[in-house]
Structure 1
């Protein structure tokens, strides 16, 4: 007998140990491998989108601690009042359910506990027959052995059906009430507590005259019965009686927001890069600014529809943290006619002239120019490349600031040709422009939009100007780290470039919309064949870039940056001001190594004694070019004859008059344009009458770094024209190849030369004042 008791005790101990082992052994979480939806919010927590899980259901997993205690208690009161005390099965409930269903013929009652219901949901069990019910009971016991009561309760609340394809209190609370499940009121919690018993029937919403949806009569009656039981437990909640009589407003899944679709699509597509993120994605987007951009884009295209403008993109970035505050990838995400689901901000397009500011910024850093440097806007050739201006005209001498603001092509190409390290191509590579071909593929045409960039890449570069020359990554998610960034430009060059761009007047400068001027550093761009119209710039702490065009690349003469994109750009700027967005300039790096210096306006150089008009410009000590202006020079004039006088100056018979000594190419443009200039009179170049050196000649033909070919059958066809621009005081040019004299020519006249052999040649030109220039060329032979 004693032995039998010992065996029984050992058996019970073994069973107990087995149960403990099962209870505390490692087991998968009940949320594991459950497909979940993703909640995407803006930086203020506003809902942008709730996605479907992979099984096409709305489902979020919410920890029990983040679910309203009222909802948790109401669910147990409605579904399983003895949940905390049974072992997964409540025999009393089972007997009562079996009697009601099979014996008495009354209403069909399942008698399932919360654990049994979780088992049915987790393993997709069919429990309408006895065999299915037995499997459900076994699974419920298994759950109780392996998981705690809180884990089971949490899993049930997250898997329970709440109508249609909505599962779990997290998704139901967000869809029906637009709030998280820990902020539910008692009337809302009670409605959710009774919904899982008949989600398809009770979940039907009733429409009222105001087009709002409210709970139906079935759900309302079930909630009232549950509230009566609630009041028995909580007599102190008498104040809730009035609230339970009010109609309960609900939303439907069809009303879920679908905001900023291109940005949301992007952050969702990048989720694979962040596998440890939870079900919520908080972006850097600002819903208020997103709506502003969408509205302005839509209104602008409505106004311009008669001109064939149908699509546009825009992006707004806060340079302080590089967060993308708004993104309009297309004019209408749902318009297949314009391929609206394409994200125009990530599409490679020709940038036109929007890259020119960075050419001038590099030139500032490399000492090529300062803002008031005078550049040549004259017919020019750079090797075989002969660029033209957009308007087909030439302005002659223009300051660097004017050339940038007026988007003159020839000065920009000339500046780019003088860049050393980095070249403009190298700069774009360092700035993160992807998929560039080789440098030789573009040549200097890269300056005028020969390559392609995305709107995001362009916005990053403009943000670099706002961040004192540091290139920083765009931030799409609120949790993305803020980078210090790599320095591609000096803070001084970035500051001066911004200041130059601020001189660009808005296209509607005289209109009422510009009555409250705001300093905006901006630039337009137009691609070849009128395929893309751009406007990009800095507005206080923000970078704004807009694009108009067609995703299929078709052209439209209306796609001109200043006419199509600039009005939209400033429409958005005005909208930001009207919305009282903080557009104060952010804190910049200061002090900078900058000085204000006096210059002669005509030449951009330091003024000499005869410069009549002077101005001020920014100057980077140690970098900016510095020399004395030689455009204005005094010539001694004989008082009696009015002709230049040679010899020592005698104030009794001579007077000094100031004349302008422009290089020959600029002087020719003045004549062609009919612009009068006080040119030096004939005979002004008396020997010894000048005590300074003017500008040396500059060879314009043959082209630098160019190979010329001659055919054996027609060697006479390789005749080259030798030409150079010269100072106004020059009357004769002398050409040499090596030490051999080739001949002389007057300024503005080319000298023909035919090489007598192939190979490398060193050509030089000397003016009649002894100033010179030279270059090397190569002549090859072909059959």
Structure 2
């Protein structure tokens, strides 16, 4: 009975106890559910509480620039998983050894801090945990008063309720102050040591662990004579922490030597500021795309960037006496279209030259740098081949009458010579022959931005009448290297290479580069060791000497150089071949010298390209009497085919020395070869004092021969002439034409009415009697003719 009674009493007690505590247990369960709900309720991550700096890197991982955050801080958010364990352990050891177990505050630490601060009157000690410090930083609390400290505790508990310990630790490491305007381990490791947090060594990690406790004083520059490069406060704090570290990590005896090595802390002023224009372009494009990344990787190669900057700086130092103070340069790797170096101005910090302007993105007149694409289009459309002989003679193209830069005319020049010697008349003639696409359409398809209408430019576009940016020009030249495929530039490393758009054939691109390869260096006579790789290049000078250009390629690179003034001021020294070309070759030589492994891309001759023999004097297929012949590239089915007619045989009577016409005794005659140059070319030869063996009079014996028909030069095609409505006075219209060398006289007709004759090479003048459309016809003395429409308008 006693046992049963005792058992009943015990059961009763347990039941009464359970009844008494059921409310407490229910309350605890409810509290647990509440806490769980608080934790699980969606809330923004702690990383959203602060804006971040953007670190911009080059292609080799070198930091180019660390920007300021929206609140003007250097702050880089680094996930806890990417923090070095050494640093995390050091911070916990130094700041909050009980972090993993307390609820956000440590009562013992608070009591001890209050006792020392308010009772003993010593240095203030807050007794703050990492969570409390994070609360103070995030909510900008004033914790010097008891009320402020109480709010800090409550905020810390609230953080602990909502976030995990790892979240709080990660946030603290990213919010902690590291002196000046540096916050967080990510920015501090970049600013003070120039490396990522994962790369920190133990001495560096310990230095960062103690900095937040007194960042203002400990981040000050060390005295120049300190052996370890640290100021006294930081050194002593780090030594104290290391002593505690060694107690816990006795096996790290080898780190004693590391701790004795110098550890120079850099300052924010020593942060790199490389490729400023390229960095700003990347940042601007990312902002416009709505990207806000803490890390951006570019294609810039810091080594090549410094090479370009150095060559630009040294060149302008030499040219300063001539008033040349600014330049821009761009280097592109055609293999993936990555921008390897970008110099937007001579000095980003020089306000006198508007140095912050990115000259590679500015629209400028390209001068003659577009001429290779005129010839490439001409090659593609069958207008010419590299040895086609073009006329560099006074010419008019409607109302447009271009002149050469030097004011001279060379007469017959091959297409290759005309391109590399930058002759304007042949280039305009080629452009005038283009069908679809012409130069304007080609540039529009190539993505040249902000172009006016085609009518606005006319043929002046050939000579730099439009505007392109240096980046656009680099894209065009890279297209030649990429066998006619246009691809966009890449400045971001994460931008995938784009598929190309074909604008030129492989054959035309190959031939155009081969023509540019024959352009001799401006310093060829003084260069002891020529470049070990061929260089394909072209210069340009804009009207008024406002812009000097050189663009070209070598190895896998395309390089474009510009010199001038951002305000458009002219300078007679701004001539492409004299100023931009020397800088271009200095850069190319420097790159080739520092990279001995650089090689020419594997070129293969396009399958449809052939070499044919031509007569060098005319560029046409040689006839039986052509004395000098050579080979040229030829596109079957495209390149122009005709037999040369410059050299023709003439039968001469041996006795009299005069022309012998049939019938004649072959034994009494000899055959001599004469050059039949058209009248415009013959006139240039005569003006230049270049002797030519003219055919004798009557050499064709009255036949039409094999010469060319006349080509009317004036009246101008598309031009209008005026007639005074009162008084009937009209301006005199000059009639002239280019004729074959066999022609002695040219007959002129207007609306089939004969108006007069003129000797070969002479001009006939005519006055219109009535306004309207007229048809002008020129007939040579062999019956060959040419016609042109003439418009006469009446004016008051």
TM-score (norm 1): 0.97
Of 65, 85, 90, 1:69 maps to 85
**2:222 aligned partner:** 206
**1:79 aligned partner:** 95
**1:329 aligned partner:** 344
RMSD of aligned residue pairs (Cα, Å):
1.8
Deviation at 1:10, TM superposition (A): 3.3
Q: Does 1:765 align with 2:778?
A: yes
Q: Does 1:57 align with 2:73?
A: yes
Q: Does 1:551 align with 2:533?
A: no
Within 1, Cα distance between the matches of 2:334 and 2:22?
79
* Superposition pairs of residues 337-348 of structure 1, within 5 angstroms: 337-348=352-363
Structure 2, unaligned runs of 5 or more = 1-15
Deviation at 1:661, TM superposition (A): 0.4
Is residue 369–residue 549 contact of structure 2 (8 Å, CA) maintained in 1?
yes
- Name whichever of 152-161 and 649-658 sits farther off: 649-658
Is residue 392–residue 426 contact of structure 2 (8 Å, CA) maintained in 1?
yes
Deviation at 1:588, TM superposition (A): 4.8
Is residue 228–residue 261 contact of structure 2 (8 Å, CA) maintained in 1?
no
Q: Does 1:631 align with 2:646?
A: yes
**Structure-2 change in CA distance of 1:521 and 1:714 (3 Å):** farther
Is residue 22–residue 146 contact of structure 1 (8 Å, CA) maintained in 2?
yes
Within 1, Cα distance between the matches of 2:790 and 2:108?
105
**1:15 aligned partner:** 31
SS at structure 1 position matched to 2:468: coil
Deviation at 1:552, TM superposition (A): 1.7
Q: Does 1:123 align with 2:139?
A: yes
Of 73, 88, 95, 2:111 maps to 95
Of 241, 250, 253, 2:256 maps to 241
Deviation at 1:693, TM superposition (A): 2.4
Within 2, Cα distance between the matches of 1:474 and 1:516?
26
Of 576, 596, 601, 1:586 maps to 601
**1:603 aligned partner:** 618
Within 1, Cα distance between the matches of 2:547 and 2:606?
39
Q: Does 1:452 align with 2:451?
A: no
Is residue 420–residue 518 contact of structure 2 (8 Å, CA) maintained in 1?
yes
Deviation at 1:538, TM superposition (A): 1.0
**1:733 aligned partner:** 746
**Structure-2 change in CA distance of 1:697 and 1:514 (3 Å):** farther
Deviation at 1:7, TM superposition (A): 3.9
If you compute each CA radius of gyration, which structure gives the higher value, 1 or 2?
2
SS at structure 2 position matched to 1:397: strand
Q: Does 1:702 align with 2:702?
A: no
Within 2, Cα distance between the matches of 1:209 and 1:710?
93
Superposed CA deviations along residues 503-543 of structure 1, whole A, max 9, x for unmatched, are 11001111135444531111111111111111111112111
**1:717 aligned partner:** 730
**2:207 aligned partner:** 191
SS at structure 2 position matched to 1:591: coil
**Structure-2 change in CA distance of 1:724 and 1:51 (3 Å):** same
Within 1, Cα distance between the matches of 2:411 and 2:448?
33
* Superposition pairs of residues 306-455 of structure 1, within 5 angstroms: 306-455=321-470
Superposed CA deviations along residues 649-669 of structure 1, whole A, max 9, x for unmatched, are 643111111000000110111
* Superposition pairs of residues 672-711 of structure 1, within 5 angstroms: 672-688=687-703, 693-711=706-724
Is residue 228–residue 260 contact of structure 2 (8 Å, CA) maintained in 1?
no
Superposed CA deviations along residues 369-394 of structure 1, whole A, max 9, x for unmatched, are 11111111111111121111111111
**Structure-2 change in CA distance of 1:213 and 1:222 (3 Å):** closer
**2:7 aligned partner:** none
Is residue 647–residue 675 contact of structure 2 (8 Å, CA) maintained in 1?
yes
Within 1, Cα distance between the matches of 2:344 and 2:36?
58
Deviation at 1:107, TM superposition (A): 3.5
Is residue 54–residue 69 contact of structure 2 (8 Å, CA) maintained in 1?
yes
Deviation at 1:273, TM superposition (A): 3.4
Superposed CA deviations along residues 670-717 of structure 1, whole A, max 9, x for unmatched, are 1111111111011212145x7x52111111011112233322124332
Superposed CA deviations along residues 140-185 of structure 1, whole A, max 9, x for unmatched, are 1111111111111000000001111111001111111111111111
Deviation at 1:768, TM superposition (A): 2.2
Superposed CA deviations along residues 453-478 of structure 1, whole A, max 9, x for unmatched, are 11111111111111111111111111
Superposed CA deviations along residues 72-100 of structure 1, whole A, max 9, x for unmatched, are 00100111111111111111212222222
Within 1, Cα distance between the matches of 2:49 and 2:99?
26
TM-score (norm 2): 0.95
Is residue 205–residue 213 contact of structure 1 (8 Å, CA) maintained in 2?
no
Within 2, Cα distance between the matches of 1:21 and 1:492?
72
Within 2, Cα distance between the matches of 1:710 and 1:195?
91
**2:235 aligned partner:** 220
Within 2, Cα distance between the matches of 1:320 and 1:647?
66
Is residue 719–residue 754 contact of structure 1 (8 Å, CA) maintained in 2?
yes
Is residue 59–residue 168 contact of structure 1 (8 Å, CA) maintained in 2?
yes
Is residue 723–residue 770 contact of structure 2 (8 Å, CA) maintained in 1?
no
Within 1, Cα distance between the matches of 2:645 and 2:688?
23
